[in-house]
């Protein structure tokens, strides 16, 4: 079953360009992961002031393998810079 991970990234005003540059460089790293299907970075325009990072996987298991394998301290620096991360996971029903 297809699995979608959505990460909501809250950030201090003025960091938009840095966030977009970081993810532009970073998204290529996930492309080689087993089961990876798609990556999107959504810029807030209306009704929300967080960025959303969306990845689509062929299974929850492959997402979890990739998630477990990456550096668990990857977001520690973000918290010190005033950013916060919320992670959500969804099975695609239809």
Q: 69: pLDDT confidence band, cut at 50, 70 and 90? A: confident
pLDDT tens column, 35-59: 999 999 999 999 999 999 999 999 9
Give me the domains of the chain, ranges plus CATH numbers.
3-91 (3.30.70.100)
Take residue 37 and report the two structure tokens written for it. Answer: 């299907």
HEC string of 28-52 equals HHHCCCCCEEEEEEECCCCCCCCEE
Q: What angle do CA 61, 67, 71 make, to 5 degrees?
A: 155
pLDDT of residue 25: 79
More confident call, 81 vs 33: 33
pLDDT tens column, 9-25: 999 989 999 999 988 87
């Amino acid at each position: 079953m297809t699995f979608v991970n959505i990460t909501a990234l809250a950030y201090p005003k003025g960091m938009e360009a840095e966030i977009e540059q970081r993810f532009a460089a970073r998204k290529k790293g996930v492309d080689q992961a087993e089961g990876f299907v798609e990556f999107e970075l959504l810029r807030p325009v209306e009704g929300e002031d967080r960025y959303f990072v969306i990845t689509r996987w062929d299974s929850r298991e492959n997402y979890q393998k990739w998630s477990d394998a990456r550096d668990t301290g990857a977001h520690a620096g973000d918290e010190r810079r005033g950013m916060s991360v919320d992670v959500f996971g969804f099975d695609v029903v239809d």
